Amino acid sequence: MPNIHKTAIVSKKAKIADDVQIAPYAVIGDNVTLGKGVKIGSHCVLDGYTSIGNDCQIFSLAVIGSQPQDLKFKGEKSFLQIGSGNIIREFCTFNPGTGEGSKTIIGNNNLFMAYSHVAHDCQVGNSNIFANNATLAGHVRVEDKVVIGGLAAIHQFVRVGMLSIIGGCSKVVKDIPPYSMCDGHPAMVYGLNLVGLRRSGINRDTIKELKSAYKIIFHSGLSLKHALEEMAQKIPALPEITYFVNFARNSERGLSRSCLKDNENDRAYCR
């Protein structure tokens, strides 16, 4: 039987696995599904058509599945789907989709630190880290193994490529390229996320080719179209290169610009 504190308010219609733990004063709505091993902290509110996978931990005062903060929302039936192994810390807020049948989807093994926000219709992949107050607007897509710094805000419809890292307090208004290290107002590309690449087991030869690819994209002075054409001629078609090329070609908001460090004058300049 689930371990449900006597002060928790849990709908009889909710679907709850046998070993779920629900702390005092939590509120679980009619259409919530909780998988095996889920732990719900005190004073949490889980509402809407929300499903939570196995072994997730949701800490005190998180609000998960409440209606989206979108004036277009008129009470449509929409969904929030959360995978397994996620850690959702205090005061996080996650919203379902806006349109009829739409979904906000969160993958597996993500860490959402306190006050993180995932808005309507977002897609978040696997093994990401959201530091405190990291905020996604609507329709944002975050791929895998991304680190988003504290107080960073991601504009609607932006994509964040895998293995990228975004500095704290950044304002992200364009797509963040995969494997990149970004920061600023607006966020600029400062180089490759070398630490993340190495930790993920990307070999030295591939990292070398990625460095060459980034120089062509950001420092050659070519348009994106011509830079991608030059990459096709000069850079081997490794899986990581092909993925990056496809990411860049499919960018609707455009890629974040590059920022270089002028060591002689101790300042940064962007282009």
Active site residue 144: no
Reference 238, options 259, 261, 258, 208; nearest CA is 208
Beta strand 39-40 with 57-58 is parallel
* For residue 236, cis peptide bond before it (omega within 30 degrees of 0): no
Active site residue 99: no
Reference 44, options 118, 94, 111, 98; nearest CA is 94
* Per annotation, catalytic residue among 121, 144, 175, 183: 121
* Per annotation, catalytic residue among 120, 167, 183, 184: 120
**Distance (Å, whole) CA 53 – CA 200:** 25
* Per annotation, catalytic residue among 97, 138, 149, 161: 138
CB 144 within 8 A of CB 128: yes
Give bridge partners of residue 267 from the DSSP assignment: 262
Active site residue 139: no
Give the residue numbers annotated as catalytic, written as ranges. Answer: 120-121, 138
